[in-house]
Amino acid sequence: MKTAIYARVSTNNGQDPEMQLRELREYCQRRGWQIVHEYVDVGISGTREKRPQLDKLLADAHRRHFDVVVVWRFDRFARSVSHLLRALENFRSLGIEFVSLSEQVDTSTPTGKMIFTVLGAVAELERSLIAERVKAGLRNARAKGKKLGRPRLVPNPGVVARLRAQGASWRAVGRALGVSPATAYCTAAKARLEIPHSESALSE
């Protein structure tokens, strides 16, 4: 099988990915798998969403450059259970197997498939709990009379008048103040500014 191996160390200070790589190479050799590429991120925290070599591995997976991905440990590869599950689901859709050496997980085996299913259930439970906590928080906020959502942006009528006096169109005024042309126009109207009837067209 064409194999990709991935290793990561968090810092350059005293950490060497070679220990991980050596064990991964030995494992692939025992299985008779051909290593076609080694992806190594050095000095990259596991909490970071973007990792150059991991991103390259995922891109190469879509190009079907390999049949299996082998990592030293889950936390060297994924930053969370949900991140791990998304990657594994992506691999499965591409027909790529996944092996974690330390956890002895191999998705090509019945036991590995079972562990993948359990991880999926845990991730789903985690998502459900988070969603329920968010909903409960919103209900509590509404019960206390708090207004939810982004506050409405109301432009300063004086600024609107000054921009108009400088010859700015309603569209330009709205863009400058971060509102729609209609909102800029209505602000001026409510402030009882003198606006000629012909200026009611907002497309100028």
102 is catalytic: no
Beta bridge partners of 38: 5
Rg (the chain; Cα; Å): 28
pLDDT at 200 over 50: no
How much of the chain exceeds pLDDT 90, in percent? Answer: 26
Residue 71's alpha-carbon distances to 8, 60, 78, 79, in angstroms, are: 9, 16, 10, 13
Listed residue (173, 143, 171) closest to 157, CA to CA: 173
How much is the pTM? 0.58
* Cβ contact 70:99 at 8 Å: yes
* Cβ contact 138:109 at 8 Å: no
Return the number of other C-beta atoms located less than 10 Å from residue 195's C-beta. Answer: 15
- Predicted pLDDT of residue 141: 77
- Predicted pLDDT of residue 195: 47
pLDDT at 192 over 70: no
pLDDT at 7 over 50: yes
Residue with tokens 């859709």, as numbered in its chain = 93
* Cβ contact 36:69 at 8 Å: no
Phi first, then psi, for residue 77 (nearest 5°) are -100, -50
Q: Mean pLDDT throughout 86-90? A: 86
Side-chain-side CA neighbours of 47 within 13 Å: the count stands at 0
- Predicted pLDDT of residue 32: 94
User: For 14-26, what is each residue's pLDDT tens digit?
Assistant: 578 899 999 999 9
Q: Write down the catalytic residue from 10, 80, 169, 180.
A: 10
pLDDT band with cut points at 50, 70 and 90 for residue 151: low
Q: How far apart are CA 121 and CA 149, in angstroms?
A: 32
Q: Mean pLDDT throughout 181-201? A: 65
Across all residues in the chain, what is the average pLDDT? 81
Q: How far apart are CA 9 and CA 41, in angstroms?
A: 7
Q: Mean pLDDT throughout 92-118? A: 84
Contacts of 88 (CB under 8 A, 6+ apart): 98, 107, 116, 119
pLDDT at 203 over 60: no
- Predicted pLDDT of residue 140: 80
**Taking the alpha carbons of 140, 142, 143, 145 in that order, is the dihedral positive or negative?**
positive
